[in-house]
């Protein structure tokens, strides 16, 4: 692991290496740009999986369209009908939800121009060999960039910052935005003849947080000097490298299923009745009216989790 700290412009000493806290601004810019994407690399979808997406888990939402049905089969002198005489409550339906994650852009790196105009670092202790981060004596190397910038960005997302996803029945807060993807749990009440009620689970992502102090790295200027990088130049450099890092060593990899290990990113509860009662006498209305109701309530809890690297 090699940390090569980028230089910043210091008002009194010229160039000075950035501290860990000052690198936070690069992480913030990158994560805000990442979260602003629509279904970008690493993003999650529900029942939508273009090429390059992989399933991270499924669930079946089952329900009947009513909780109780009734049949008036006439006066049978107190002898209850069998199940074949009274229809089961409505019809059974199943909706399958598949969560998928975008693993495209896994080989992305900045363009040549963005590489060459990347944050400047010292390759040796004497500060005599200054090159863009990601180069050692003109040879391109990703590991230094990962160690210095990208893996800390991943850690900031895993820590709950901008860029993390969450599955919930309501927004986790004002810093979160709906992705437009949702799933439902439908549940009927065995005590009435109504259709199912619906609980909607929406997939959110965190898209904003308080900005840290603004400290930008410097790059080589076209005239041979040094110049502070712009926000756009920073994200043009870091975003492709973040895409490249996704799904390497489980970085920014989500799972959806019965395993609760990992970083909490929400959950989904599916409930359904898996059987129906025998027909039961209800009341005398020009003969016996019988009903059948759903029974055997089952519940299944599915966890959305972000692997902890």
- The residue with tokens 């490249």 is 244
Would you call 68 exposed, middle or buried from its count of C-beta atoms within 10 A (0-12, 13-18, 19+)?
buried
pLDDT at 281: 65
* Long-range contacts, 193-198 (Cβ 8 Å, 24+): 193/66, 193/67, 193/68, 193/69, 193/70, 194/66, 194/67, 195/65, 195/66, 195/90, 196/63, 196/64, 196/65, 196/67
Q: Is the pLDDT of residue 67 over 50?
A: yes
* Contact assessment for residue 165 and residue 205, using Cβ atoms and an 8 Å cutoff: yes
pLDDT digits (tens, 9 = 90+) for 87-113: 889 899 999 999 999 999 999 999 988
Six-digit token string for 198: 């619906």
Q: What is the pLDDT of residue 1?
A: 59
Map out the domains of the chain as residue ranges. Answer: 7-306
Average pLDDT over residues 123-138: 79
The residue-averaged pLDDT of 111-125 equals 86
Q: Report the pLDDT value the prediction gives residue 136, as an integer from 0 to 100.
A: 75
Decide if pLDDT at 10 tops 70.
Answer: yes
More confident residue, 70 or 145: 145
| Mean pLDDT value of segment 233-249 | 96
114 burial via Cβ count (<10 Å: 0-12, 13-18, 19+):
buried
**How high is the mean pLDDT of the chain?**
90
Return the pLDDT at 287. Answer: 62
For residue range 252-293, what is the model confidence (pLDDT) as tens digits? 999 999 999 999 999 999 999 999 887 776 654 556 778 889
Instruction: Supply the pTM of this predicted model.
Output: 0.91
Q: What is the mean pLDDT of residues 29-33?
A: 98
Point out the least confidently predicted range of 15-19, 51-55, 69-73. Answer: 69-73
pLDDT digits (tens, 9 = 90+) for 142-160: 899 999 999 999 999 999 9
Do the Cβ atoms of 274 and 298 come closer than 8 Å? Answer: yes
Q: How confident is the model at residue 209 (pLDDT cuts 50, 70, 90)?
A: very high
Which pLDDT band, with edges at 50, 70 and 90, does 40 fall under? very high
How far, CA to CA in Å, does 74 sit from each of 78, 86, 107, 288, 291? 10, 12, 72, 5, 13
DSSP β-bridge partners for residue 131: 121
pLDDT surpasses 80 at 81: no
Contacts of 148 (CB under 8 A, 6+ apart): 2, 3, 4, 5, 6, 23, 121, 133
Instruction: State residue 284's pLDDT score.
Output: 47
pLDDT tops 60 at residue 75: no
Residue with the bigger pLDDT between 13 and 175: it is 175
Taking residues 217-230, report their average pLDDT: 88
Residue 126 has pLDDT above 80, yes or no: no
Instruction: State the Cα–Cα distance between residues 55 and 49, nearest whole angstrom.
Output: 8
The residue ranking higher by pLDDT, 224 or 169, is 169
Query: Percent of the chain scored above 70 by pLDDT?
Result: 92
Euclidean distance between the first and the last CA atom of the chain, given in angstroms as a whole number: 15
**pLDDT confidence band for 123 (50 / 70 / 90):** confident
Angle between helices 20-35 and 151-158 (to 10 degrees): 70
């Amino acid at each position: 692991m090699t940390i090569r700290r980028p230089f910043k412009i210091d008002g009194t000493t010229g160039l000075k290496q950035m501290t860990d806290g000052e690198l936070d601004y690069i992480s913030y810019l990158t994560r805000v740009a990442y979260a602003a994407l629509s279904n970008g690399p690493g993003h999650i979808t529900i029942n939508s999986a273009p090429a390059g997406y992989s399933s991270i888990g499924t669930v079946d939402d089952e329900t009947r369209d009513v909780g109780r049905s009734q049949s008036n089969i006439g006066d049978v002198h107190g002898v209850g009908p069998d199940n074949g005489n009274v229809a089961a409550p409505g019809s059974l339906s199943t909706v399958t939800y598949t969560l998928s994650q975008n693993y495209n852009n896994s080989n992305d790196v900045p363009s040549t121009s963005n590489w060459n105009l990347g944050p400047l670092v010292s390759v040796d202790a004497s500060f005599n060999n200054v090159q863009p981060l990601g180069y050692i004596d003109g040879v391109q190397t990703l590991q230094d960039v990962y160690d210095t910038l990208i893996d800390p960005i991943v850690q900031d997302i895993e820590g709950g910052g901008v860029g993390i996803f969450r599955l919930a029945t309501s927004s986790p807060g004002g810093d979160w935005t709906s992705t437009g993807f949702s799933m439902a749990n439908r549940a009927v009440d065995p005590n009435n003849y109504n259709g199912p009620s619906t609980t909607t689970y929406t997939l959110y992502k965190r898209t904003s947080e308080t900005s840290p102090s603004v400290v930008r790295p410097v790059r080589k200027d076209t005239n041979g000097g040094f110049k502070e990088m712009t926000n756009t130049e920073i994200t043009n450099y870091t975003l492709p490298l973040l895409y490249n890092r996704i799904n390497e060593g489980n970085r920014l990899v989500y799972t959806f299923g019965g395993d609760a290990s990992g970083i909490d990113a929400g959950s989904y509860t599916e409930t359904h009745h898996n059987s129906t009662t025998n027909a039961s006498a209800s009341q005398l209305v020009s003969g016996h009216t019988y009903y059948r109701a759903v029974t055997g309530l089952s519940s299944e809890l599915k966890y959305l989790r972000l692997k902890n690297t």
